[in-house]
Each structure stands twice: as C-alpha cells, then as structure tokens.
Amino acid sequence: MLYPRVSLYALMLAAAGIPLYIHLPRFAAVNLGMGLGVIGTVLLLIRLIDLVQDPLIGWAIDRWPGAQLAFAAAAALGLAIGFPLLFGLPNGASVAALVSVLILLFSAYSLGTILLYGRSATLAKRTDAQELMTLAAWREGGQLTGVIMAAIAPTVFLALGAGGQGYPAFGLFLGVLALLTLAMTVPIWRRAPITGQGISLAGLGQAGALRLLVLALVNSLPVAITSTLFLFFVEDKLQLPGKAGPLLILFFLSAGVSVPLWARLSKRIGAKQTLIIAMPLSIAGFIGAAMLSAGNLAGFAAICIASGAALGADMVVLPAMFSVVLTRAGLNASTAFGIWSFAGKLGLALAAFFTLPLLERSGFTPGQENTTEALKTLTLAYAVLPCILKLGAFGLVLTLPTEVSAK
C-alpha cells in the first residue's frame, strides 16, 4: 500500500492546485468583482512570498527529518481550513481578505508539495533511477486524478443546485478531502527518512541540478500562461460556454493516460530522448490553438488531447530527472525541491502578472462582449507567447547531457 498512499497524497495536492491555478482568476473576477490587474498583482505578491518561503520550507524539512508526519499534517490541515474560507468569500470582499486566505493556502500547498517530492528517496522502495521513475509514475498518476476531480467538481456542484457557481460547495469538498487524505496516509510519513548532504550552488551545479532548475522555470511558463488564461480562452475567445470543464477533463485524462507510457519509454530510451519526443506535441498544440476560430470544439478537443499527453511527460520525467541527479550526488532533496517548487511558481506568477494586465489594457472583460482587438490579444497571450517559450525549453532539453537522463 506504499505507492497507492503516495498517489493519494498527490491527489489531494493536485485537487488543491487546480482551483489555485485554474479557477482562481475567474472566481476572483466574476464572484468577487476584482479587476484582472488587481488579481495579477495579488498573485505576484503571493509568489514573492514564495520566493523566500519555499526554500525555507525545504530547509526545514531537511533540518527536522523526524517531523515528516507533522509537516504532512500541517499541509493537509492548512488546505482543509483555507479552501472553505476562500470560496466562501462574498462579492466585494477586500483584497486583504483574499491575500490572507491565499497565503494560508499557498503555504500549505507548498509544504505538502515540497515534502512529497523531496522525500522521493524515502518513499521509493529502492533509490535507483528505475524505482524513482516508478514512484514518479504513481505520484503523477495520483496528481492527474486529483486534477480531473477538481476540474469537474464545480460543474457537478452547480448542476446539483449549489450557489455561487458551485464554488462554496467546492471549497467544503476540498476541505473534507484533505482531512480524509491525512487520515489515510499517516503510514508513509512514519518511514525512516533518507537524507543527504547540505545544498550549495556549487553542489547543485556539479550534480547537473542547476541546469534542470533553469529548464524547469522556462518550461513552466507556457503551462502557467495557458492555465491562467484557459477559462477565458474557452469561454470568451472560442465562445464555448459550459465546455471548459469537459475540455479540462479531456486534457488531464490525456495526461493521465500518457503518464505510464512516458515512464516506460523513459526507462527504455532515457529521459532526455523522451522529452525530445514529447515537447513537439505541446508546440503543435499552441500553433493549432492560435489558428482556431470561435465555436471549433472538435479542433480544441484535439489540441487538449495532444497537449495533455505532452504535459504527462513533463510531469513524470522532469521531477524524476531532478530526483535522480540529487540522489546520485547524495544531496538533501527537500531543500532542492523547495527551489524547484519556487521555479515553477515563479512561472505562474510571471504569467499572471504580465498577461492579466495586458488583457485588461486591451479592453478584455471576462464574460462580456469583447472587441476583435481584445480577443486577438487573448489569442496571442494564450497560444503564441507560450509557443515561443516552449521552443526555448525544447532548445534547453537538446543541450542536456545524456548522463542526467533517468534511464
């Protein structure tokens, strides 16, 4: 039951991540009546807190290895308290109230995520590259299951008659899920921790981890932008009301189905070669999205399948590569994954901070009639810019030495 419990904890974190990264911009704009520029600034502020917080969380986990269960419980309880508070905020709630709840939620989410990824060597049955890839497949499989649950939940609650677009009920659901997950995953956090040497820039550089951190940041930007703008693109550009939920589910189902396939392929040909195969799928998806016209449900569904499959490779291969180089070098993984977590979150912050005010300046308003110019700006932000950034990430993958490959 070791890996299924790891998968369950990952499910909880992913179910928490989707509302923070996908639903939050639209919830704050429509339910709370906040401007897109304000929302982008709030998200950047939260990420600036993460700039200091995430590495410190990783350091604390490595500093007190015997406190794994306490850290896991603190993360779950933070989510259990924070989500009912977030989605219970009334229209007209102050920015300070939103920021306070988001600090709690993002701190809990960071703590749980860094703990889960930083303890890869502890949670794996063995510490060799193949077993770390197996652990990664279970972990990311759980994450994708949680993502699908979170993507569909507001729509289900709304269909059942819940108010506030289903968000208050969604918040309670996430809170209960966090409590149940904590109760069922206690055994994995009682395993004896495997720790390593302290982290330094020189040590990360010698291990090849710095190169992977740069890749993680650049590669996070395209998905960060599309995550932030997904609901706007589907509802306002493609004019497909009510289809965002099913399309999200299709996207993440494609990712979930692909995870074991990418894991097996990586074991056979190596992680670098696997990414070289997967990344062009994302690039093709962005190009296709830029060419879509309003109402093209079939075309965007095909793009969701292709880009979802590509995401599956990113999710399972990149963290496993990072774990492998850290384990081989005997370095403390939690501190390093604190930096890794920040790199991904910085991408999300930059996406929100630059794209949301850009849309606001173009005159774009969610849920309203928009000008051709505003919708063109939305398309450029959602598809063209991520395509360019993904090409940059692909170029970085091509420069990776073969020895970092988790084969």
- Cβ–Cβ < 8 Å for 139, 207: no
Look at 319 and 277; give whichever has higher pLDDT.
277
pLDDT for 341 equals 74
* CATH code 3.30.70.20 for 2-404: no
The set of long-range contacts for 199-203, using a CB threshold of 8 Å and a minimum separation of 24, is 199/331, 199/332, 199/335, 199/336, 199/339, 203/329, 203/331
What phi, psi does 268 have (nearest 5°)? -85, -45
What phi, psi does 331 have (nearest 5°)? -100, 155
Percent pLDDT > 70 in the chain is 92
**Integer Cα distance of 385 and 400 in angstroms:** 24
Q: Of 384, 278, 309, 393, whose CA–CA distance to 343 is shortest? A: 393
pLDDT for 241 equals 84
pLDDT in tens, 115-167: 998 887 788 777 677 787 788 888 888 887 887 888 778 878 888 877 767 78
**Integer Cα distance of 126 and 129 in angstroms:** 9
**Integer Cα distance of 145 and 133 in angstroms:** 18
Q: Is the pLDDT of residue 289 over 90?
A: yes
Look at 176 and 346; give whichever has higher pLDDT.
176
**Predicted confidence band of residue 377 (pLDDT cuts 50, 70, 90):** very high
**Integer Cα distance of 46 and 157 in angstroms:** 28
Percent pLDDT > 90 in the chain is 29
Q: How many CB atoms lie within 10 A of CB 269?
A: 14
Mean pLDDT of 207-227: 82
Domain boundaries, the chain: 2-404
Q: Is the pLDDT of residue 320 over 50?
A: yes
Q: Is the pLDDT of residue 195 over 70?
A: no
pLDDT in tens, 333-358: 677 777 777 777 777 777 777 888 88
Mean pLDDT of 95-110: 91
What phi, psi does 49 have (nearest 5°)? -65, -40
**Integer Cα distance of 232 and 84 in angstroms:** 24
Q: Does an H or E element contain 163, and which?
A: none
Residue 165 corresponds to which tokens in the numbers above?
């677009």
Q: Which residues contact 387 (CB under 8 A, 6 or more apart)?
A: 222, 283, 286, 287, 290
Q: Of 276, 318, 339, 250, whose CA–CA distance to 53 is shortest? A: 339
pLDDT for 384 equals 93
Distances (CA, A) of 187 to 15, 16, 175, 181, 190: 21, 22, 21, 11, 5
Look at 404 and 162; give whichever has higher pLDDT.
162
What are 331's strand-pairing partners?
197
Mean pLDDT of 56-83: 91
Task: Mean pLDDT check: name the lowest of 289-293, 317-321, 382-386, 394-398.
Answer: 317-321
Q: Which residues contact 340 (CB under 8 A, 6 or more apart)?
A: 117, 213, 216, 319, 322
- Cβ–Cβ < 8 Å for 207, 329: yes
Q: Is the pLDDT of residue 291 over 80?
A: yes
Burial of 20 (0-12, 13-18, 19+ CB in 10 A): buried
Residue 377 corresponds to which tokens in the numbers above?
């700006």
Q: Is the pLDDT of residue 173 over 80?
A: yes
| Mean residue pLDDT across the chain | 84
pLDDT for 332 equals 61
**Integer Cα distance of 83 and 92 in angstroms:** 18
Angle between helices 129-159 and 297-329 (to 10 degrees): 140
Q: Look up the pTM and report it.
A: 0.72
Q: Is the pLDDT of residue 229 over 80?
A: yes
pLDDT for 118 equals 81
Mean pLDDT of 179-189: 94
Q: Of 73, 245, 228, 259, whose CA–CA distance to 167 is shortest? A: 245
Q: How many CB atoms lie within 10 A of CB 390?
A: 23
Q: Does an H or E element contain 192, and which?
A: none
**Predicted confidence band of residue 406 (pLDDT cuts 50, 70, 90):** very low
Q: Which residues contact 149 (CB under 8 A, 6 or more apart)?
A: 11, 15
pLDDT for 63 equals 86
Mean pLDDT of 236-249: 85
